Structure 1
Amino acid sequence: MKYIIAIIGLLVVFGLAYVVSSNRKDVKIKPIILMVIIQLILCVLLLNTSLGLGLIKVIASVFGKLLEYAGEGVAFVFGGIANDGQAPFFLNVLLPIVFISVLIGILQYIKVLPIVMKAIGLLLSKVNGMGKLESYNAVASAMIGQSEVFITVKKQLGLLPANRLYTLCASAMSTVSMSIVGAYMTMIEPRYVVTALVLNLFGGFIIASIINPYTVAPEEDILEIQDAEKQSFFEMLGEYILDGFKVAIIVGAMLIGFVALVAAINSIFQMIFGISFQGMLGYIFAPFAFIMGIPFSEAVEAGGIMATKLVTNEFVAMMDLASMKESFSPRTLGIISVFLVSFANFSSIGIIAGAVKGLNEQKGNVVAKFGLKLLYGASLVSVLSSIIVSMVL
């Protein structure tokens, strides 16, 4: 039965993407089928084999160690603020982002990360039917972040037509930055975080190739990466430390605002309609939860968490999932967890448009115009990844 629901789910996702396609006649079926097959194979390897589980265990242990080291710095500065036995979210989940940001900066500085991103991007371009720039951008977005990635391709931004620009932005919204992966792993199971990262990479290309199909001419398929401005090692360290801290502060501020706002709206809806705002959204999103393989009995609650992620951000939704996990089956927990690992929410539209506008004002205005279409496509990517996982769990 789960395979039938999954097939229906795939058809619904592809149909919803096809409805808003900018060029339906140019949709390439072969790369889409190939990438779905690759998603399934990778999902099986990661979740259902000893090799995959071992790999995830190694990745989780690495991030676990990194979080321990980060904890040393946090404890030195903020030690004594929290009572023994307490684990404040800001100290234990957000501030370690600073240390992981530093590590990314070091890998960038010694040229390891650019080589890896370019190599994987070129490999991806062989199977996704898109350009080298698009493939590189998707990998880079997952490693250095949805706004920082545009700095590395700023020379080419002004030359890109709107369709290629859409694909670059869609990749940035469909993935998550490596700097906050450790934070996710403290809130949901690491194996679902890793699986989502891999699936979303291909899912972004699948949905973009339906919504926004095009062919890149060989003479236009040039990958020219902008090197960072030359800095001393310690200048770079200072910059990435501050960048990581800014991310932690921004996420913390957004959580304060969104959690408080959702609590207020829930209270108002409860008084007026007898149902919370999230509960109402749960009914709206329940059909999507069902085609993702979640049983009817859990679909409404799952739909509420999905909606929370869309209208607020993934951290708020992960906190809700953590508080409600006892009411979900292990399979449902896995499916929802994979859905939550992406930047597909309303605030990301402003972040991406702002990042592009800071580098090229004209192109930033173009991105702002198709912002809702970006969010629509990135949300379909999350649903697609969850459906793939539902076939394996």
Structure 2
Amino acid sequence: MQYVISILGILVVLFLAWLASSNRKKVKVKPIITMLIIQIILSVFLLNTEFGLILITAISNVFNKLLEYASEGISFVFGGMANEGEAPFFLTVLLPIIFISVLIGILQHLRILPLLMKGIGWLLSKVNGMGILESYNAVASLMVGQSEVFITLKKQLGLLSKQRLYTLCASAMSTVSISIVGAYMTMLEPKYVVTALALNLFGGFIIASIINPYEVQPNEDMLEIQEFRRQSFFEMLGEYILDGFKVAIIVGAMLIGFIALMAGINHVFELIFHISFQQILGYLFAPIALIMGIPLSEAVSAGGIMATKLVTNEFVAMLDLSGGNHDFSTRTIGILSVFLVSFANFSSIGIITGAVKSLNEEQGNVVASFGLKLLYGATLASILSGIIVSLVL
């Protein structure tokens, strides 16, 4: 029965994407089937094999070691602020982002990161039936972030069609930046975080190729990546340190605002309707939880967490999942964890629109015009990843 529900869930997600398609006759079926098979194989490999366990353990150990290094700097500056045995979220989860940002800067400065992004992007383009530029953008979004990636495409933004621009933005919203993966791993099991990174890469292409099908001509697919201004090593370090700090502060500020707002709204709803706002959202999202393979007894609570992620951001939802009073099964935790690892929320519409608009105002207005459709597609990609995982758990 579990497999029947999961397969039915995949069909429902593909149908929902097809309903929003701009050109249903141009949807390419073969690449979609190929990428679905790749997603299933990756899920089995990462979650159900010894080699997958070894790989995830190795990745987890790397991030744990990086977090240890980060804690050295944090302890020097903020040592003594926390009581013994306590682990304040800002110190243990957000501030390590600074150190990860520095490492990304070093890899960028040494030209290792651009080489990886171009190489993996070229390989992906052979599978997804899209252009090299779209594939590069998906990998670059994963490595440098959903807003920073557009800087590398500055020269090409003004030349892109609305269809290609949608796919680039959808990739940026469906993935997450490596700079905050370490933060996710402090709240979720690393195996689910790593699995989600791999699945979302293909899930974003699957949904985008249905919602937004188009053909890329060879002469339109030149991959000319904007080179960053050459900096000295220490100038680069200073820039990435400050960038990492800005991300930590912005995420912290958003968490304070969103969590406080959610608490206030819940209290008002409980006073008036004797039910919290999150519970109402839970009932609305329960059908989605069901098609993801989550049992009926857990669907409402799971739907509430899914809705929280959409309305606020993934950090708020992850905190709810890891620290809330939920009696979820191990399988449900795995499905929800994979669903939460993406930037598919309302605030991301503003972030991506702002990033593009700062580089090309006209194209930024185009992105704003399909913002809700962008969120719809990225959310479907997250749901699809959760369903794929439900097949193998």
Q: Which TM-score applies when normalising by structure 2?
A: 0.99
Aligned residue number for residue 103 of structure 1: 103
* Aligned equivalents of 1:382, 1:244: Cα separation in 2: 26
Report how far residue 204 of structure 1 moved.
0.4
* Aligned equivalents of 2:273, 2:185: Cα separation in 1: 36
Report how far residue 241 of structure 1 moved.
0.1
Aligned residue number for residue 362 of structure 1: 362
Report how far residue 171 of structure 1 moved.
0.1
Aligned residue number for residue 88 of structure 2: 88
Where in structure 2 are the equivalents of 1:280-359 lying within 5 Å? 280-324=280-324, 326-359=326-359
* Aligned equivalents of 2:115, 2:256: Cα separation in 1: 38
* Aligned equivalents of 2:140, 2:200: Cα separation in 1: 13
Aligned residue number for residue 206 of structure 2: 206
Runs of 5+ consecutive residues of structure 1 not aligned to the other structure? none
Aligned residue number for residue 40 of structure 1: 40
Asked if structure 2 preserves the Cα contact closer than 8 Å seen for 1:266 and 1:277, the reply is yes
Q: Deviations over 1:35-88 (max 9, x none)?
A: 000000011000000001100000000000000000000010000111111100
* Aligned equivalents of 1:53, 1:385: Cα separation in 2: 19
Q: Deviations over 1:128-162 (max 9, x none)?
A: 00000000000000010000000111111000010
Q: Secondary structure at the match of 2:324?
A: helix
* Aligned equivalents of 1:244, 1:87: Cα separation in 2: 20
Report how far residue 326 of structure 1 moved.
5.0
Asked if structure 1 preserves the Cα contact closer than 8 Å seen for 2:292 and 2:335, the reply is yes
Q: Secondary structure at the match of 1:254?
A: helix
Matched, 1:145 2:166: no
Aligned residue number for residue 11 of structure 1: 11
* Aligned equivalents of 1:154, 1:81: Cα separation in 2: 43
Report how far residue 218 of structure 1 moved.
0.8
Asked if structure 2 preserves the Cα contact closer than 8 Å seen for 1:35 and 1:128, the reply is yes
Aligned length: 393
Report how far residue 325 of structure 1 moved.
6.5
Q: Deviations over 1:313-368 (max 9, x none)?
A: 00000000012365000000000000000000000000000000011010001001
Aligned residue number for residue 187 of structure 1: 187
Asked if structure 1 preserves the Cα contact closer than 8 Å seen for 2:154 and 2:359, the reply is yes
Asked if structure 2 preserves the Cα contact closer than 8 Å seen for 1:98 and 1:244, the reply is yes
Asked if structure 2 preserves the Cα contact closer than 8 Å seen for 1:174 and 1:342, the reply is yes
Aligned AA for 1:55? Answer: L
Asked if structure 1 preserves the Cα contact closer than 8 Å seen for 2:301 and 2:326, the reply is no
Q: Secondary structure at the match of 1:294?
A: coil
Report how far residue 222 of structure 1 moved.
1.1
* Aligned equivalents of 1:326, 1:261: Cα separation in 2: 21
Asked if structure 1 preserves the Cα contact closer than 8 Å seen for 2:96 and 2:183, the reply is yes
Aligned residue number for residue 160 of structure 1: 160
Where in structure 2 are the equivalents of 1:116-135 lying within 5 Å? 116-135=116-135
Aligned residue number for residue 235 of structure 2: 235
Q: Secondary structure at the match of 1:85?
A: coil
Report how far residue 9 of structure 1 moved.
0.4
Aligned residue number for residue 175 of structure 1: 175
Asked if structure 2 preserves the Cα contact closer than 8 Å seen for 1:325 and 1:333, the reply is no
Asked if structure 2 preserves the Cα contact closer than 8 Å seen for 1:305 and 1:317, the reply is yes
Aligned AA for 1:222? Answer: M
Q: Deviations over 1:161-209 (max 9, x none)?
A: 1000000000000000000000000000000000000000000000000
* Aligned equivalents of 1:234, 1:256: Cα separation in 2: 33
Aligned residue number for residue 29 of structure 2: 29
Aligned AA for 1:296? Answer: L
- Identity among equivalent positions (%) equals 76
* Aligned equivalents of 1:270, 1:3: Cα separation in 2: 38
Q: Secondary structure at the match of 1:42?
A: helix
Matched, 1:264 2:264: yes
Runs of 5+ consecutive residues of structure 2 not aligned to the other structure? none
State which drifts further: 320-329 or 286-295. 320-329
* Aligned equivalents of 2:369, 2:279: Cα separation in 1: 31
* Aligned equivalents of 2:348, 2:71: Cα separation in 1: 28
* Aligned equivalents of 2:258, 2:96: Cα separation in 1: 22
* Aligned equivalents of 2:280, 2:325: Cα separation in 1: 19
Asked if structure 2 preserves the Cα contact closer than 8 Å seen for 1:171 and 1:205, the reply is yes
Report how far residue 221 of structure 1 moved.
1.2
Report how far residue 7 of structure 1 moved.
1.1
Q: Secondary structure at the match of 1:327?
A: coil
* Aligned equivalents of 1:6, 1:267: Cα separation in 2: 36
* Aligned equivalents of 2:303, 2:48: Cα separation in 1: 26
Aligned residue number for residue 245 of structure 2: 245
* Aligned equivalents of 2:199, 2:254: Cα separation in 1: 27
